[in-house]
Structure 1
Amino acid sequence: MRVEIWGDVVCPWCYVGKARFEKGLAAFDHRDRVEVVYRSYELDAERPRGETSSVIDVLAKVYGCTREEAQAKEERVAAGARGDGLPYLTEGRDHGNTFDVHRLLHLAKARGRQRELLDVVYRTNFAEQRSVFDHEVLAELAVEAGLDGAEARAVLADEQAYAADVRADEREAAELGARGVPFFVVDRRFGLSGGQPPELFTEVLQKAWQSRPAEGADTAQARG
């Protein structure tokens, strides 16, 4: 059984949602029969590559509020993340175009290290004051995740490397009706979005397992 998760590495609820899904998966009896695939989704695709701003400034602009109000929003999200055991810094973080990060995640997928790279990218973005929009930092994270540093740098230097894979993921998200992330598709028959409680993920996994179609039967499109 396959679970596909669309998300963006700058999305705090994707960070939280991944952790909650993994808790839900751990409680699922057939977890060893579940393949988890992470898909690309950009929250700020129009932002030029290489241009970064502070997270607080971005939030203030998006929500049309003051920096103080934006800071308060971040503090509420941070409290939720910490409640799930996740480290979260509310200051000193930046925001930018994530296309290159997603391209590198596709390299990691091809090398069987996708989850490992995603984990270190999330940790770096939300819990450290290192920028995941810096190619050298990304290359270092790739090595930390078990990838070859030279290959990672070559992918980052080639703007076309894995670009088609990122765009294909994004088109598929739109076709499946994803209006935001995180977006979870279970066995191409069940869909849910947001940082849901772990128990709900376990419930959906069990439902999908129990209602699996007969071998060779067509599966329906995921529904929201």
Structure 2
Amino acid sequence: MKIEIFADIVCPWCFVGRRRLDEALTYFDHSDDVVISYRSFELDPGAQLYSGASIVELISKKYNVTLEEARGFNENLLNIGVELGIDFDFEKMSPTNSFDAHRLVQLAIKSGLGEEMVESLMKGYFEDGALISDHEQLASMASRAGMDFSRVSEVLGSDEFAIEVRRDESFAASIGVSGVPFYLIEDKYAISGAQDTMTFVSAMTAVWSKLK
């Protein structure tokens, strides 16, 4: 059974959703027959490069609230993260454009390391404060995912895989995907949002019964 995940590296709910899907697979009797792949999706294709401001500061400015109030906006995510083994650190995050990170995900998919690359990027961004638009840091995260350093550097120094990223985004638009995470099962069954674990289990079970 094929599950395609549309996700952005800088989307915290995409990180949460993946952890919940991982949990769901432990309850699903046919998990060995599930093949997961990633599709690129930028929540803000026009996002600026890192300015030095934290995500908390940007939220404060955007919504005209205090820094403390802005931190409160993320309280729910912090609690969910603890339950799922995600150590969100919103003070350290470096909000930036994710396009080059997506290009590396496309390279990783071609190399059979798509899931490992997404995991490395999300952990780097959400937990370690990594700047995912910085080529040196991207190369380091790619190496941790098992990718070849020289090939990664070659891609980062070019526009390789830009077409693949845009193609994924065009496909997402063509099927009505306007936000992520979004899950497409067997090309026609959709799940939108970081649903709870048992919702994923129920969806996979229902689709599996239709494949018999």
TM-score normalised over the length of structure 2: 0.93
Deviations along 1:119-152, one digit per CA (max 9) or x if unpaired, are 1111111111332221101101111111110110
Aligned residues: 212
Give the aligned partner of residue 187 of structure 2. 188
Deviations along 1:22-73, one digit per CA (max 9) or x if unpaired, are 1112211111111101111111211245656421133234445443322111
Deviations along 1:78-117, one digit per CA (max 9) or x if unpaired, are 1121122211112121101100000000000000011111
Deviations along 1:144-190, one digit per CA (max 9) or x if unpaired, are 111110110111111x2000110111111111111211001111221
Extract unaligned runs of 5+ from structure 1. 214-224
Give the aligned partner of residue 7 of structure 2. 7
Give the aligned partner of residue 132 of structure 1. 132
Whose helix proportion is higher, 1 or 2?
A: 2
Give the aligned partner of residue 117 of structure 1. 117
- Write out aligned runs for 1:54-203 (5 A): 54-158=54-158, 160-203=159-202
Q: Is the 8 A contact 1:53 1:96 kept in 2?
A: no
SS of the counterpart of 2:211? Answer: coil
SS of the counterpart of 1:36? Answer: strand
The whole-number CA distance in structure 2 between the counterparts of 1:210 and 1:164 is 36
The whole-number CA distance in structure 1 between the counterparts of 2:77 and 2:62 is 16
The whole-number CA distance in structure 1 between the counterparts of 2:182 and 2:9 is 13
Identical-pair percentage: 34
Q: Is the 8 A contact 2:25 2:31 kept in 1?
A: yes
Residue range with higher mean Cα deviation, 74-83 or 138-147: 74-83
What amino acid sits opposite 2:132 in the alignment? V
The whole-number CA distance in structure 1 between the counterparts of 2:196 and 2:169 is 25
The whole-number CA distance in structure 2 between the counterparts of 1:13 and 1:154 is 31
Extract unaligned runs of 5+ from structure 2. none
The whole-number CA distance in structure 2 between the counterparts of 1:52 and 1:195 is 29
Q: Is the 8 A contact 1:19 1:84 kept in 2?
A: yes
SS of the counterpart of 2:37? Answer: strand
The whole-number CA distance in structure 2 between the counterparts of 1:183 and 1:63 is 26
Q: Is the 8 A contact 2:81 2:88 kept in 1?
A: yes
Give the aligned partner of residue 204 of structure 1. 203
Residue 17 (structure 1) shift: 0.4
TM-score normalised over the length of structure 1: 0.89
Residue 211 (structure 1) shift: 0.8
The whole-number CA distance in structure 2 between the counterparts of 1:53 and 1:174 is 31
Q: Is the 8 A contact 2:50 2:95 kept in 1?
A: no
Q: Is the 8 A contact 2:5 2:36 kept in 1?
A: yes
